Amino acid sequence: MRQRSSTSASAGLIEASRAAFDRAHHVPQSVFTQELWSAARRAGLLPLVASAFSARFQPLPDDVQRDVTGNAMRNVRAISELQTIQKLFANAGLRWLVLKGPVLSHVVSRVPGARVYGDIDVLVHPEDLEQCLDLLLESRASPLDRNWAHIRQTQQSEISVELERGTLLDLHWHPITDPRIRAEIGIDLVGLFRRSQQVAFSGIHAPTLDPLDTVCYTSLHAVLAGAHQLRWLIDVRECLIWADAPPEALRQRAGELGCLLAVEVIIGRIAARLDPGARAYLPRRRRSVWAAFTGLIDRFATLDPGPDAYSGRAIFSSTRASTGKSLIVCVSALRRARRAGPGRRRVTSHVSVLRREDGTELDRSAWLDLARGHLQVAPGRTRRRTTRQGGQG
Amino acid sequence: MNTSYQVAHDQAAWSESGEGLVVLDLRDSNYLSLNGTAAALWRRLADGPASATELESVLLADYDVQADRARDDVANFLGHLVERGLVAQHAAL
């Protein structure tokens, strides 16, 4: 009964999401049950579902209106912090790009502001990382990750700081934080910065990835996170529409970035669950074995962010640059999950470790050197160096 | 002489919220919720300076409203937001 109820809410979410983007799409008011609103909150889709509702059956229920406004307040707070960052980094001539939330919500989505976020993700050029970090800390931001020994040891590519108004900023020097995956995918950072573009929203002009890189990065992020949340499928679908690029161009760029398989996997899931039109971006012939395999898994894997749902997340997140490597990672992940047993969840968060102050200036310097060194020897690629001219300026 | 108005970009941040907007006053961290018509006027002023007459034409074009009512709505909107310092007014020839 619970499974059926969950399936019904999931189908309702997909219907309501379609209606949010397409005013002509018929959706009866009976779809908007209390269960649907709860599912929308859990899935991070409340503002989107609310926009579908309010365009047809105003007014919104009071509790929904309150939460939608609360979401907009979090967004506007993040935007105000982004304004500060923009001025700070631009005045210092630093190379940076805003990623994910603000761009997806206010630039990419056809329903601006309806995507839930609250944190800011920024990619900084590895050579400018130290200066970015110092500037932030001088401007009343507080360091959250202070365990330099752990940060150095894990070789993660991001660090969190809390901005003046309380927004969390994840400062990345590489889009992939796990060093093993970073080595396997081999993204060309210099190319990302060279192709970057300015976008304008809510009075801000900020640099971000170019449209094809945005599709690839959003796809990669969704797949590595498990591809089990409807909002990530919506993100990638909106990116595809925004980029409006020929499928061949997307495949070429995804191939250059080492994430062709991830793009194929997520688009396969979008085509099966959300928008059959996305099939235009899939190869007509010779679909990869891994993408075909995840296509089969898709039928059984729920789109549910809950920890108890069978979402196939361990399988989707095993996607790497090739079918062979993905299978190896997948077998290993499933073995680990089996050993852990159904009642014991893996610890996936190192937040408490990161927040504990530890390590020395030497650890911090070694981490900054790791970031800078990544540019000199890009994984699996020819030796390349970066120049100031290569940045977005 | 005509008066033009513009969003005070240094004083405000804003985000879409359904048909409306939520504006954050950066000086005192107070939030302001704008309904659909006020949001339409705000968006116009965020794009660049506009006179009251130009703002009235935004309402007349997008909403089923009489000219008198549009004039009153624009006057109320400007009066409120200029007083709060979120919209700046400039004398223009």
What pLDDT is stored for residue A388 in this prediction? 40
Q: Under 8 Å CB-to-CB from A3, ≥6 apart: which residues?
A: none
Interface check for A280 against chain B (CB to CB < 8 A): the answer is no
Q: Do A68 and B46 count as a contact with CB atoms less than 8 A apart? A: no
Closest residue, chain B, to A53 (C-alpha): B18
CA distance A278 to chain B (A): 27
How would DSSP label each residue in A187-254? --HHHHHHH-EEEEETTEEEEE--HHHHHHHHHHHHHHTTS--HHHHHHHHHHHHHH---HHHHHHHH
Give the mean pLDDT of A89-104.
Answer: 97
Per-residue pLDDT for A240 more than 60? yes
The Cα-based distances of B6 to B19, B32, B55, B86 in angstroms read 21, 17, 11, 9
What pLDDT is stored for residue A111 in this prediction? 95
Strand partners, A171: A122, A159
Most confident range, picked from A3-12, A27-36, A295-304, A310-319: A27-36
Interhelix angle A46-54/A62-91, nearest 10 degrees: 120
Chain B residues closer than 8 Å to A66 by CB: none
Per-residue pLDDT for A253 more than 70? yes
Closest residue, chain B, to A50 (C-alpha): B18
Among A7-11, A30-34, A114-118, A263-267, the least confident range: A7-11
Strand partners, B7: B87
The Cα-based distances of B37 to A106, B55, B58 in angstroms read 20, 11, 9
What pLDDT is stored for residue A336 in this prediction? 84
Average pLDDT of chain A is 89
Q: Name the amino acid, one letter, at A328.
A: I
Per-residue pLDDT for A351 more than 70? no
Q: Under 8 Å CB-to-CB from A154, ≥6 apart: which residues?
A: A179, A350
What pLDDT is stored for residue A389 in this prediction? 36
Per-residue pLDDT for A54 more than 70? yes
How would DSSP label each residue in A136-195? HHHTT-EES--BHHHHHHHT-SEEEEE-TTS-EEEEESSS--SHHHHHHH---HHHHHHH
Of A318 and A350, the one with more pLDDT: A318
HSE-up (13 A, CA, CB side) for residue A142: 9
Among A5-19, A120-134, A268-282, A346-360, the least confident range: A346-360
Give the mean pLDDT of A358-366.
Answer: 92
Per-residue pLDDT for A349 more than 70? no
What pLDDT is stored for residue A332 in this prediction? 92
Per-residue pLDDT for A295 more than 60? yes
pLDDT digits (tens, 9 = 90+) for B17-60: 988 999 999 999 999 999 999 999 999 999 999 999 999 999 99
Q: Which of B7, B29, B31 sits opposite A203 (nearest CB)?
A: B7
Strand partners, A28: none
Chain A residues closer than 8 Å to B44 by CB: none
Give the mean pLDDT of A58-82.
Answer: 93
Distance of alpha carbon A46 from the chain centroid: 18
Mutation site for A-interface testing, chosen from B14, B15, B35 by largest number of A Cβ within 10 Å: B15
Whether A194 contacts A390, CB under 8 Å = yes
Per-residue pLDDT for A378 more than 60? no
Confidence of residue A335 (pLDDT cuts 50, 70, 90): confident
Q: What is the CB neighbour count within 10 angstroms for residue A389? A: 7
Per-residue pLDDT for A52 more than 90? yes
Mutation site for A-interface testing, chosen from B9, B10, B16 by largest number of A Cβ within 10 Å: B16
Mutation site for B-interface testing, chosen from A49, A202, A205 by largest number of B Cβ within 10 Å: A202
Q: Token pair for residue A119?
A: 């944190």
Give the residue among B78, B92, B69 at the shortest CA–CA distance from B8: B78
ipTM score for this prediction: 0.89
Distance CA B19, CA A279 (A): 32
Give the residue among A282, A348, A269 at the shortest CA–CA distance from A312: A269
Give the residue among A298, A214, A51 at the shortest CA–CA distance from B19: A51
Q: Token pair for residue A60?
A: 């919104």
User: A89-109: buried (b, 16+ CB within 10 Å) or exposed (e) per residue?
Assistant: beeeebbbbbbbbbbbbbbbb
Q: Do B17 and A80 count as a contact with CB atoms less than 8 A apart? A: no
Interface check for A86 against chain B (CB to CB < 8 A): the answer is no
Chain B residues closer than 8 Å to A72 by CB: 15-17, 21-22
What is the biggest distance separating any 2 CA atoms in chain B, rounded to whole angstroms? 37
What pLDDT is stored for residue A88 in this prediction? 96
Per-residue pLDDT for A310 more than 50? yes
Which helix (H) or strand (E) covers residue B88, if one does?
A: strand B87-92
Give the mean pLDDT of A289-299.
Answer: 92
Confidence of residue B91 (pLDDT cuts 50, 70, 90): confident
Per-residue pLDDT for A323 more than 50? yes
Q: Report H helices in A92-128.
A: 101-103
Per-residue pLDDT for A321 more than 50? yes
Q: Do A73 and B23 count as a contact with CB atoms less than 8 A apart? A: no
CA distance A351 to chain B (A): 29
pLDDT digits (tens, 9 = 90+) for A8-26: 778 899 999 999 999 899 9
